């Protein structure tokens, strides 16, 4: 369907836009097109040390650590933060009584892997990584909304979005040459919640004008590959759900609010060689919840947590730790606590957070036929983050962070890290 843009309006908006509202263009038939996003860059210093083993030895970089160590992890780099740069294109309109929309979210990063200057002829072609995170359509009305396409998952979505390091850096996740250093930083991923991933989905949400919004989605199934066991079965979609209840407690238009949220996940995947194996299929599941309070006087308090089985601990289904060598699901849990305070001038904002993820052993892990002693995969990942943010303008901010990370394996090897980061973020 052909749409004629009002270019004179677009040029007027482009000439006067100086806020973080993005560029909006109208059309002859009532549709609007919006371009918005952010660009950020952080100068970071990381110094990780390993206890119980020589720095850089294999046992220091055990499976599941969120704090890689070794000589190449004492490094200064310039990288993208937890939120990548984003270029968001949206078109919205109404036909009959149906509200329609399409959304494209491109998430590039500024650094290349392995510290190559332009990456040409190396890994993945020239330039830094481009992550096409979001491609979806929406159709809605008074009855609610259907989202179809690729977007962030529902399970632990709010745990991620309420993390203050979304507007910062958090743990680096490894930035030295052997750690690749590509991708975003971790923030509190793996030290407060499990990353929900961006997934193909069909999701229905109730009317967003109500205080409580329920979302239920069917998701493209994920392969679970862990400890040599592969569960790639894709016969049934994964089910995820989320409920968010919000009550605004301040004057109209203020940020004061109380938000309660909960989410869940249920999946079933089958083994690639079901004959003769102990587990022909597994049923990963998880529950998460949290609360956010934006009170008067500039305070914001957040607390969230989760408990899950067969999901992993840092990257959902992707960290190789969801099951043991016999295919039994491992349990994991975690929490994130944080406090933020905005000065009355609205120029400075200070924050502090502490988060931890724990991965449990199974009875098979502790048996003589498994690890032959204490297992050398992660037991706990934790991080403390202190930040100061200066709101230079309405759209531009400076972020200063100190992060202390700690990672311990079941065989008592421990890695600690001191990290500094300073960065700029511009939203448009």
Give the rounded distance of the alpha carbon of 184 from its chain centre. 9
Q: Which of 56-60, 172-176, 192-196 has the lowest mean pLDDT?
A: 56-60
**Pairwise CA distance, residues 31 & 13, whole Å:** 16
Q: Which residues pair with 86 in a beta bridge?
A: 38
Digit-coded pLDDT (tens) for 251-289? 766 678 899 999 999 998 888 776 556 677 889 999 999
Compute and round to an integer the Cα radius of gyration of the chain: 23
Range among 56-70, 262-276, 356-370 with highest mean pLDDT value: 356-370
Digit-coded pLDDT (tens) for 16-38? 333 456 777 776 678 999 999 99
Model pLDDT, residue 265: 97
Nearest 5°: the CA angle 26, 29, 31 is 45
Model pLDDT, residue 72: 74
User: How large is the average pLDDT for residues 313-332?
Assistant: 89
Q: What mean pLDDT value characterizes the chain?
A: 85
Digit-coded pLDDT (tens) for 71-110? 777 888 898 999 989 999 999 999 999 999 999 999 888 8
Name residue, tokens 């502090």: 352
Digit-coded pLDDT (tens) for 383-426? 999 999 999 999 999 999 999 999 999 988 899 999 999 999 99
The domain over range 33-427 is classified in CATH as 2.40.160.10: yes
Q: Kindly list the domain boundaries of the chain, sorted by start residue.
A: 33-427
Please list, in sequence order, all residues whose beta carbon lies within 8 angstroms of the beta carbon of residue 26, skipping any fewer than 6 positions away. Answer: 5, 6, 9, 32
User: Which of 85, 127, 79, 126 is CA-nearest to residue 105?
Assistant: 85
Provide the H-helix boundaries in 91-133.
none
Q: Which residue has the higher pLDDT, 161 or 111?
A: 161
Digit-coded pLDDT (tens) for 123-176? 555 556 677 889 999 999 999 999 999 999 999 999 999 999 999 999 988 765
């Amino acid at each position: 369907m052909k749409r004629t843009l009002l270019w004179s309006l677009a040029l007027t908006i482009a000439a006067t836009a100086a806020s973080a509202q993005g560029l909006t263009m109208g059309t002859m038939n009532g549709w609007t097109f919006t371009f918005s996003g952010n660009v950020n860059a952080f100068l970071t210093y990381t110094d990780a040390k390993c206890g119980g083993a020589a720095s850089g030895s294999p046992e220091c970089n055990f499976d599941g650590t969120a704090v890689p160590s070794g000589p190449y992890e004492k490094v200064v780099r310039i990288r993208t933060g937890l939120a990548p740069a984003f270029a968001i294109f949206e078109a919205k309109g109404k036909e009959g009584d149906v509200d329609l929309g399409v959304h494209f979210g491109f998430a590039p990063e500024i650094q290349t892997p392995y510290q190559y200057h332009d990456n040409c002829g190396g890994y993945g072609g020239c330039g830094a990584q481009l992550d096409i995170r979001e491609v979806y359509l929406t159709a809605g009305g008074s009855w609610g909304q259907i989202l179809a396409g690729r977007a962030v998952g529902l399970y632990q979505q709010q745990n991620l979005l309420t993390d203050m390091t979304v507007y910062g850096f958090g743990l680096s996740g490894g930035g030295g040459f052997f750690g690749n250093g590509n991708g975003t930083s971790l923030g509190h991923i793996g030290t407060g919640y499990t990353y929900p991933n961006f997934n193909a989905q069909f999701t229905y949400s109730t009317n967003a004008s109500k205080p409580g919004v329920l979302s239920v989605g069917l998701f493209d199934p994920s392969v679970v590959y862990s400890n040599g066991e592969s569960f790639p079965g894709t016969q049934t979609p994964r089910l995820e759900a989320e409920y968010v209840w919000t009550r605004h407690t301040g004057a109209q238009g203020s940020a004061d609010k109380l938000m309660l949220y909960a989410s869940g996940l249920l999946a079933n995947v089958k083994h690639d060689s079901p004959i003769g194996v102990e587990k022909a299929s597994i049923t990963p599941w998880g529950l998460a919840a949290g609360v956010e309070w934006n009170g008067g006087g500039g305070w914001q308090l957040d607390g969230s947590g989760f408990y899950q089985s067969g999901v992993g601990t840092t990257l959902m289904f992707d960290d190789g730790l969801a099951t043991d060598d016999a295919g039994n699901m491992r349990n994991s849990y975690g929490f994130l606590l944080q406090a933020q305070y905005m000065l009355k001038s609205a120029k400075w904002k200070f924050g502090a957070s502490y988060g931890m993820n724990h991965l449990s052993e199974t009875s098979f892990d502790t048996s003589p036929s498994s690890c032959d002693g204490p297992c050398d995969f992660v037991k706990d990942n934790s991080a403390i983050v202190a930040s100061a943010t200066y709101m230079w303008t309405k759209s531009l901010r400076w972020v200063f962070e100190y992060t202390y990370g700690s990672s311990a394996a079941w065989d008592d090897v421990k890695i600690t890290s001191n990290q500094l980061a300073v960065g700029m973020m511009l939203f448009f």
